A = this chain, B = another copy of it.
């Protein structure tokens, strides 16, 4: 049994995590939140208090932290007595936070893969470049580290595991992420624009025929007819979970599909072709060195600011194909979330909500011992059923369709 949570980061996802931890502080204990800018943490705590989100009286505290310094992370873990760290800071800090956890023995949970600022889309599988190099050390020290426990990666990894467990043999996993919401802005990204665009400017890796294959963004499109949101244009994109699922299920083809409208593609294409999405610095005529992508980020709306006017729904799920009792079988496991409901509950838009609720569910499973693995795990390596049970309860219910996208629709445990 572990308790007391330290949340690292103070963006839109951290806000959801803080609200959800507060709603479950009977299980999780004290709630600490830390970021470079402590005022952003305080604003989140204020929002938690305003909603009266704390299930029972308890500690709710903000801290200033430079999470690129693992010694500082370790110090704060010791000072707060946190036994569970939920890292929802920028992807650039992951390895430093993980090191702080390994040093102190705290459990580590994140929602996205580590990135180095000057590199994009490195050699697959991505996890092998950074996180998995620490797997033996985690096992040796008995440190629990759950990688990629947001929605995608995260819940979709559990969806894959759940569907595969129903089969004798898995043949393919197609993860489809459609946001059919409308934020009313000319253009905005739902996550940190820097991280969002970095996903799409490099090589798109996917796994087919037991090998890594490559394509480019928007080169491979497909219209997916999904529950609630209907037929939606999506494109193969690079995404973290492809890299762990392909490693854990090498016999299956693994692809990730992200929904994009023509307008998004047009804006992306213009910015990319001009060089404005580059992570490499340019020098202005006045001699100022600046990374164009960081300027684009500064011009775009803060993803958190989209929440109040965001309407519509998201549908994210896994279409898994395989063989069961000698017959071909298709299972679609999915969730539908609503932007407006998310805002009303936790003051964030639906994309932040889907990313922020799952790591809290994971933390609750670490607290209860069910997912306290004492080693490093990707989500598909853990039992999905207790995860789904908590997600059902705290806002992201899982449904399934046996027979594929248009099969019979039931709750996952029906």
**Interface pair B274/A296, CB less than 8 Å apart:** yes
The listed residue (B187, B270, B273, B290) touching A295 by CB distance below 8 A is: B290
The listed residue (B271, B285, B296, B298) touching A294 by CB distance below 8 A is: B285
Using a CB–CB cutoff of 8 Å, the interface residues on chain A facing chain B are 186-187, 194, 266-267, 270-271, 273-276, 278, 282-286, 288, 290-292, 294-300
**Interface pair A299/B270, CB less than 8 Å apart:** no
Residues of B within 8 A of A294 (CB): 284-286, 288
Residues of B within 8 A of A285 (CB): 194, 294, 297-298
**Interface pair B274/A300, CB less than 8 Å apart:** yes
Q: Among the interface residues A187, A274, A278, which one has the most CB atoms of the partner chain B within 10 A?
A: A274
Given contacts A285-B297, A297-B284, A299-B282, contact A267 B274 (CB under 8 A): yes
| A112→B93 CA distance, assembly (Å) | 49
The listed residue (B187, B270, B274, B290) touching A290 by CB distance below 8 A is: B290
Chain B nearest CB, measured from A308 CB (Å) = 20
| A195→B44 CA distance, assembly (Å) | 43
Residues of B within 8 A of A186 (CB): 273-274
**Interface pair A296/B276, CB less than 8 Å apart:** yes
| A267→B276 CA distance, assembly (Å) | 12
**Interface pair B266/A284, CB less than 8 Å apart:** no
Chain B nearest CB, measured from A249 CB (Å) = 37
**Interface pair B297/A276, CB less than 8 Å apart:** no
Could you name 15 residue pairs across A and B whose Cβ atoms are closer than 8 Å?
A187-B270, A194-B285, A267-B274, A274-B299, A275-B299, A275-B300, A276-B276, A278-B299, A284-B290, A284-B295, A284-B298, A288-B288, A288-B294, A290-B295, A290-B298
| A300→B292 CA distance, assembly (Å) | 12
**Interface pair A270/B266, CB less than 8 Å apart:** yes
| A175→B292 CA distance, assembly (Å) | 36
Residues of B within 8 A of A283 (CB): 298
**Interface pair A292/B282, CB less than 8 Å apart:** no
| A285→B193 CA distance, assembly (Å) | 11
- Nearest B-chain residue to A294, judged by Cβ: B284
Known contacts A271-B274, A274-B296; 9 additional CB pairs below 8 A are A270-B270, A276-B295, A278-B299, A284-B291, A284-B297, A285-B297, A288-B294, A292-B298, A292-B299
**Interface pair A295/B271, CB less than 8 Å apart:** no
| A291→B266 CA distance, assembly (Å) | 24
Chain B nearest CB, measured from A184 CB (Å) = 13
Chain B nearest CB, measured from A326 CB (Å) = 53
Chain B nearest CB, measured from A287 CB (Å) = 10
| A284→B291 CA distance, assembly (Å) | 10
Residues of B within 8 A of A299 (CB): 274-276, 278, 282, 292
| A295→B286 CA distance, assembly (Å) | 10
Sort A-B residue pairs by CB-CB distance and give the 7 closest, nearest first: A275-B299, A282-B298, A270-B270, A284-B294, A186-B273, A295-B295, A284-B298
| A274→B285 CA distance, assembly (Å) | 22
| A187→B273 CA distance, assembly (Å) | 8
Chain B nearest CB, measured from A163 CB (Å) = 39
| A282→B299 CA distance, assembly (Å) | 7
Residues of B within 8 A of A292 (CB): 295, 298-299
Residues of B within 8 A of A300 (CB): 274-275
Residues of B within 8 A of A290 (CB): 284, 288, 290, 295, 298
**Interface pair A270/B273, CB less than 8 Å apart:** no
Q: Among the interface residues A186, A276, A294, which one has the most CB atoms of the partner chain B within 10 A?
A: A276
Chain B nearest CB, measured from A36 CB (Å) = 10
Residues of B within 8 A of A270 (CB): 187, 266-267, 270-271
